[in-house]
Chain A
Amino acid sequence: MEALFATVTGFLAASGLYLALRGRTFPVVVGLTLLSYAVNLFLFSTGGLTTNGAAVIRDGVDYYADPLPQALVLTAIVIGFAMTAFSVILAMRVRGDLGSDQVNDQRGEESKEDKS
C-alpha cells in the first residue's frame, strides 16, 4: 500500500511539474494545482497511512489517525485554493493588459528561445 501511495504522489508531482514548465498561463495554473495535490498527499502521509482510525476522541478507543498533519493539510488546501485563484486571475489580468497568455517576458530576448 505504501508503495502504491508513493507512486500516486510521484505521478501527480511529475504531471504537475510538466504542466508548470509549459509556456502558457493556463497549463501552468493547472500544473500548480496538481502539484499542490501531490504536496498535500505527501504532507498528509507524514502521519502514516491509518486505516479505520478514529478521527474524534471517544472513550475506550485508542487507535487514532495522526491529527497534526491533517490540521496542516486542511489549511494547506484552503491556502492552495487562494494561490490557484490568485495565479489564474493574474493570468487573466496579464491577458487583459498585455494581450498575451505567455508566461515569459515578451520584451526579453531569452523568450525567443522559449517560444521555440
Chain B
Amino acid sequence: MSLPLIVLLPLLGSLIPLLSNNRQRTLNAWSTALLPAIALGMAISHAPGVISGEVYHFSMSWVPQLGLDLAFRLDGLSLLFLLLILGIGLLIILYSRYYLSPDDSMPRFYAYLMLFMTSMIGIVMADNLLLLWVFWELTSLSSFLLIGYWYQQSEARRGARMALAVTGMGGLAMLAGFLLIGHIVGTFDMQTVLDSRDLIQADPRYLPALLLVLLGAFTKSAQFPFHFWLPHAMAAPTPVSAFLHSATMVKAGVFLLARMHPALAGSQLWLYIVTLTGLVTMIYAAYFALLKYDLKGVLAFSTVSHLGMITMLFGLDSKMAVAAGLFHILNHAMFKATLFMSAGIVDHETGSRDIRKLSGLRRSMPMTAALAGLAAASMAGVPLLNGFISKEMMLTETLETGILGGLAWLIPVLATLGSVLSVAYSLRYVRNVFFGPEAQELPKTPHEAPFLMRLPMLLLVALCVVIGLLPALIVTGLLGAAAQVTILPPRPELHLAIWHGFNLPLLMSVIALAGGVGIYAVRRKLFAFQRQFPQRNASMIFEHNVRSLLHWTQQAIDRFENGSLQRYMLWLIIAVLFLTGSGLLDLTQLRGPRQLQALDGLLIAGAVITILAGLGTAVLHRRRLVSLMMLSVVGLMVSLAFARFSAPDLALTQLAVEVVTVILLMLALFFLPQRTPKESSGARVVRDVLLAAGFGGIVASLNYAMLTRPLDTISGFFLENSVSGGGGHNVVNVILVDFRGFDTLGEITVLCIAAIGIYKLLNRLRLFMPSSDSEGRPWSRDLHPMLLGTVSQSLLPLALLVSVFIFLRGHNEPGGGFIAGLVTAVALILLYIARGVDWTQQRMSFQYQPIAVVGVAIAALTGLGSWAFGHNFLTSAFGHFSIPYIGEIELVTPMLFDLGVYLTVVGATLMILANLGKLTTRHRPSKENEKETV
C-alpha cells in the first residue's frame, strides 16, 4: 500500500510551499523537504526486498475502458531512479534555499519542483504503459513551468516553449507507439508487455511502434538531432538545471530505453538505431561542449554527450553494456548535479558564467573548487572515481560488439574519441575557472558560498569517491536488481572493480586522458577552426520554423474559411454526397426484398401537393411571403403524413409547431427585406440546382432502399415494458419521459438555452421598421381587429383547458407535455396577435424566462428525486389513487417530469415570440406621424 504513497506524498508536497510565504525561507525549504524525505524513507524501506529480487506491485482500476490502471511497481530499475530523484531532489531543495534571491517567489519554485518530482516518480514507478505516458507528459508540462520560471526573461520563455514543443511532440509519438504495443499485446499492463518480447517483435507493427517509442525517448533525452532544446533550457535557474539535466528529465528518455529493453531490444533495428544515435550524439555534443563559453552551456552539451553514451550502451548487443549504462546513469547523475551546483555557486558569487571572464577562483572559493574538480575528474573518467569505472565498462563493451560487421573497430575508436573530448572539456571547465591568475572586473567580488549550499555537493562528491573506491560493496546489489528487470536471462555476472589488469580498455582510458590533455592544450586552434563556420542559433531556427508553420496554417485556414457560408455549405454537401453516395454504390440493387404497400388516391394527392409546395418554396423564394406560405403548406402536409402513418402524437406536435414557426417567420419577415434581389449568376443557379438534385436523389434512394429492406427494431422492448415498467399506455410518451427521459432532459435544456440565447440577441436590437410593404401599400390601420380579439379571448380558457386535458391524458393517450405546452403557447400567442403586446402584458405581467428555467429545474429535480429513494437517476414510480368525486386516477412521477417539459416548452416558445413581438411596439411610428408621412 505504500507504493502509491511514494508518488502521492511529493504530489501533496507541491501544495505545502504554497501555504507558506516568501519570507520564511528556511521554514519553507524544510517543510517542503519533509514529504519527499518520508517518500525516500519508504523507498529505502523496500530496498532490501527489491535487492533480493522481489518486485512490488500495486494496482487500482482507473479507466478500465481505456485499459488505464493506476498501477505502480517497485523493482530494481524503479528503485535506482527513485533514489536518484528523491535523493538529489532533496539536495536541490536545500541548495535552492540559498540560490534563489529574495525577489524570486520561493513557494512557486518549490511547488513546480515538487510537481516535477512527482511526475518523474510516476514515470519510474508506472506499471501501466498509459499511466507512464500520463506522467511523461506531466514532466513535459512541469519542466515547462520550471524552465520558464523567470518568465520575465524572453530567453526563458523561448527555452521553455521549445522544450515543451520538442518533448511534448515526442511524448505524443510515444503514446502512438504505446497504443500500437497495446494493440499487439492486448493490454497495457507493464509486466505483460515486458514478457511479450517475441509476440511484439514478430508483429509487422513492431517497426512503427519501435520508431515512435524511440522518438519519445530521444526527444526527452536530447539525442541528436533533437538535442537542440536542452542547451536552451539552461535559461532555467541553475538548481532546476541541476535537477532536470542530471537525475531526472533527460534521464526519463534513457529510463524508457531501459524499461522497454526486455520487450523491444534485441532486434537488428534496435541495435543500429539506438547504438548509432547514441554514438553520434556523444561525439557531436562533446565537441560542442568544448567550444562553449557559458559554464552551463558546457555542462549542457556534456550532458547531451553523456546521454548519448548511455543510449549507445543500451543499444549495444551485449548484456553487460546494459548494466554499464545503468551504472553510468547513477554516476552521471552524481557528478553532473555537483557540477551544475558548482556552476550555480560561481554564477551566484561572481555574477558571471563566462569562462573567458572567470579565472583563479580556487583562491576565493577553495572548497567549491575542490568539489567541482573532483566531480569534473569523475566526468573525465579519472581512476579512483566512479566515472572511471563506468567509462571503463563502456570501453570494454564497445570492443565486444558485432555491429557494423567488418567495420566494428569503428565503434571503440569513436567511443575513445568521445572520451578524449570529455576529458578535454572537463579539464577546461576546472582549469579555466578555478586556476590561473585571479580574475579581474567580475560583477561581484567572489567569496565562498554558505556551507549549507555546499553541503549537497559535498555529499554527492563523497559518494562519487566512495563508489569509485569500493564499487562492488556499494552498488552491486542495486545495479544487480536493476539489471535483473532490464536484461533478459541468462544474465551475466556483475563484476565491478577498479582494476582488471593490463588490457585494451585500460589502454583506451590512458589514450583518452592523454589525448584530452593534448586537445585541451591546443584548444585555441580548435576555436579558430570553428570560427570559420557561421554561427547557428537553434533558438532562432526553431522560432523561424514555428513562425512559418503558423503562417502556412493561417493561409490554409483562410483558404477554407473565407467567411462565405455558401462555400462552407458546398464543402459540407459535397462531403455528404460522397460519403452516402459511396455507400449506395455498394448495394447490388436499390430495391430490397420487402413487400411494397399499395397506393391510394389520397396518398398520391398528398404527395403531389407536398412536392409542389416544396418546389414552390424554393422556386418562389424571391417573393418571401409567398415562399413562406408554401412552406406552411409543406408543414401541414407533413403533419397529415404523420397522422396517416399511425403517429398521432407527431401529427399534433407538428401542427402546433407549424403554427408557431409560421408566426415567428412572419414576424421576422416584417423586419427583413420582403424580397430577395436577384444576385446569383446563371452558372451558380445551375450548380446549386445540380447539387440539390443530386442531394435529393441520394436522400430519396437511401430512403427507398431503407424502406424496402427488412426492419429490425428494438421497439419490442418498449412495447412490452411500457405498461408494466413505465405505467403508461402511450408508448411514445413513456419513451420520452421515462425510458429515454435523460435524452428529453437534454433536449428541453437545449430548447431553454436557445430561447435564452434569442432573448439576449433581441436585447437592444434596433431595426428599421417599415411603414408599408414592399409594394408601397401602408400596413393596415386596424392593428387589432375586434373580431379576432373577441374570438381569441373567449377561446383562451378553452384552449388552456384543452392543453390541460392533453397534458393529463398524455401518459395513456396521444398527448403529453410537449404538445400541451405548444397548445398553450399557441393560445397565448393568438391573444398577443389579437390584442397587441401592450394590452397583453398589462394583464399578464410575468416574465417567461423563469418559467422555462423552472421547467428544466423541475424535470432535473424529478430525476434527482429518485436518488433519494436509492434508485438510479430518473427512475420512475407510479401508483393508482382513488380521489373522491373524481374517481380513480393514476399518479406517476413521469408526470412531474412531463410538467417540467410543459413549462419549458411554454416558457421558451413565448420567450422567443413575445420578445420578438415587443420589437414591433417600441418605436413604432405613432398614428400622427404616420398621417404626416402618408
Contacts and interface: CB of A to CB of B under 8 A. Distances in A.
B731 A9 contact: no
Contact of A88 (B653, B668, B812): B668
Given A56-B729, A78-B905, A18 B713 contact: no
Contact of B754 (A16, A17, A86, A114): A86
Contacts of A68: 713-715, 718, 735
B654 interface: yes
Interface string A2-29: 1111111111111111111111111111
A56 B664 contact: no
Given A19-B618, A27-B621, A89-B758, A57 B722 contact: yes
Contacts of A46: 706
Contact of B704 (A6, A29, A77, A108): A6
Nearest to B600: A1
Contacts of A56: 729-731, 812-814
- Which of A28, A37, A85, A95 has the most chain B CB within a 10 Å cutoff? A85
B546 interface: no
Interface in B311-349: none
Given A9-B700, A89-B762, A90-B761, A95 B671 contact: yes
Contact of B618 (A18, A41, A75): A18
- Which of B664, B701, B722 has the most chain A CB within a 10 Å cutoff? B664
B647 interface: yes
Contacts of A80: 657
Given A2-B704, A5-B703, A65-B647, A11 B696 contact: yes
Interface string B730-753: 111001100010011001001100
B926 to A, nearest CB: 22
B726 to A, nearest CB: 10
Interface residues of B, number: 113
Given A30-B631, A47-B715, A68-B718, A74 B732 contact: yes
Contacts of B905: 78
A8 B642 CA distance: 13
Contacts of A1: 596-599, 603
Interface stretch (B425-433, B566-574, B853-861): B566-574
A108 B699 contact: no
Given A84-B661, A92-B765, A108 B563 contact: yes
B615 A15 contact: yes
Given A4-B604, A15-B618, A18-B689, A10 B566 contact: no
A22 B676 contact: yes
B621 A44 contact: no
A19 B621 contact: yes
B703 to A, nearest CB: 4
B672 A25 contact: yes
B732 A67 contact: yes
Interface in B819-833: 822
A67 B569 contact: no
A2 to B, nearest CB: 4
A29 B665 contact: yes
B729 A50 contact: no
B644 to A, nearest CB: 7
B644 A21 contact: no
Nearest to B621: A27
Contact of B723 (A54, A57, A64, A111): A57
B916 interface: yes
Contacts of A113: 564
B672 A26 contact: yes
A108 to B, nearest CB: 4
A92 B762 CA distance: 9
Interface string A44-59: 1111111111111110
A37 B634 contact: yes
B655 to A, nearest CB: 10
Contacts of B744: 75
B299 to A, nearest CB: 53
B648 interface: yes
B732 A55 contact: yes
A5 B634 contact: no
B703 A45 contact: yes
Contacts of B743: 75
Contacts of A116: 679-681, 684
A14 B437 CA distance: 90
B699 A13 contact: yes
A50 B638 contact: no
Given A19-B617, A82-B751, A93-B761, A45 B735 contact: no
Contact of A30 (B611, B617, B660, B684): B617
Nearest to B674: A26
A54 B767 contact: no
Contacts of A18: 618, 688-689, 691-692
B646 A86 contact: no
Contacts of B822: 78
A49 B603 CA distance: 12
Contact of A20 (B569, B669, B912): B569
A71 B641 contact: no
A1 B627 CA distance: 28
Contacts of B647: 44, 55, 65, 70, 73
Contacts of B699: 9-10, 13-14, 38, 42
A41 B750 contact: no
Nearest to B693: A14
B894 to A, nearest CB: 13
Contact of B679 (A20, A49, A90, A115): A115
Given A44-B650, A67-B719, A51 B644 contact: yes
A65 B644 CA distance: 11
A96 interface: yes
A22 B660 contact: no
B680 A79 contact: no
B653 A93 contact: no
A3 B704 contact: yes
B597 A28 contact: no
B802 to A, nearest CB: 19
Given A55-B648, A101-B672, A110 B563 contact: yes
B843 interface: no
B730 A4 contact: no
A15 B692 contact: yes
Interface in B662-720: 664-665, 668-669, 671-673, 676-677, 679-681, 684, 688-689, 691-693, 695-697, 699-704, 706-708, 711, 713-715, 718-719
A106 B672 CA distance: 18
Contacts of B719: 57, 64, 67
B765 A10 contact: no
B735 A41 contact: no
A77 B650 contact: yes
A82 B691 CA distance: 27
Contacts of A25: 672
B564 A104 contact: yes
B475 to A, nearest CB: 68
Contact of A47 (B614, B624, B696, B711): B711
A19 B631 CA distance: 12
B19 interface: no
Contacts of A101: 672-673
Given A26-B676, A77-B650, A114-B566, 16 more contacts: A3-B596, A8-B610, A8-B614, A10-B699, A14-B699, A15-B617, A18-B692, A45-B703, A56-B812, A73-B650, A81-B909, A86-B754, A93-B765, A110-B567, A114-B684, A115-B679
Shortest 9 CB-CB contacts between residues of A and residues of B:
A105-B563, A10-B700, A14-B696, A108-B563, A110-B562, A65-B646, A6-B704, A53-B646, A67-B731
19 contacts: A3-B596, A8-B607, A11-B611, A12-B696, A14-B692, A14-B693, A27-B627, A30-B617, A30-B627, A31-B618, A34-B617, A67-B731, A67-B735, A70-B649, A70-B732, A78-B818, A79-B750, A92-B765, A110-B562
Interface of A: 1-31, 33-34, 37-38, 40-42, 44-58, 64-68, 70-71, 73-75, 77-86, 88-93, 95-96, 101, 103-105, 107-111, 113-116
